[in-house]
């Protein structure tokens, strides 16, 4: 399989899917995906996409909850 964006080589990997929609935010770890070795674009099979949507809808018990520090790019680093 080739990357549809850059034509680069795509390989199977386990990735962390980041769900970020209207200030709702969560990760799904160890998601099987095809990742472009050139541009890093991730591709998910229809089955995987369906399961991710299912997880987003149902919000069953997460395996763990982590605190994520969020930074504002525009903030001055040192003032």
Footprint on this chain of Zn ion (rule: CB under 5 A):
3, 5-6, 8, 36, 38-39, 41
- Structure tokens, 12: 């199977």
Closest approach of Cβ 35 to Zn ion, in Å? 9
Let me know if 71 is exposed, middle or buried by CB neighbors in 10 A (0-12, 13-18, 19+): exposed
- Structure tokens, 50: 């369906």
Closest approach of Cβ 43 to Zn ion, in Å? 9
> Closest CB to Zn ion among 33 and 36?
36
> Closest CB to Zn ion among 26 and 44?
44
Q: CA angle, corner 57, sides to 54 and 63, nearest 5?
A: 75
> Closest CB to Zn ion among 34 and 56?
34
Closest approach of Cβ 67 to Zn ion, in Å? 33
Residues shown for the chain: 79
């Amino acid at each position: 399989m080739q990357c549809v964006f850059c034509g680069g080589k795509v390989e199977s990997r386990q990735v962390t899917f980041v769900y970020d929609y209207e200030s709702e935010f969560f990760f799904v770890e160890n998601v099987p995906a095809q990742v472009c070795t050139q541009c890093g674009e991730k591709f998910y099979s229809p089955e995987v996409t369906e399961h991710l949507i299912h997880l987003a809808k149902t919000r069953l018990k997460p395996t763990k909850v982590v605190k994520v520090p969020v930074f504002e790019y525009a903030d001055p680093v040192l003032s």
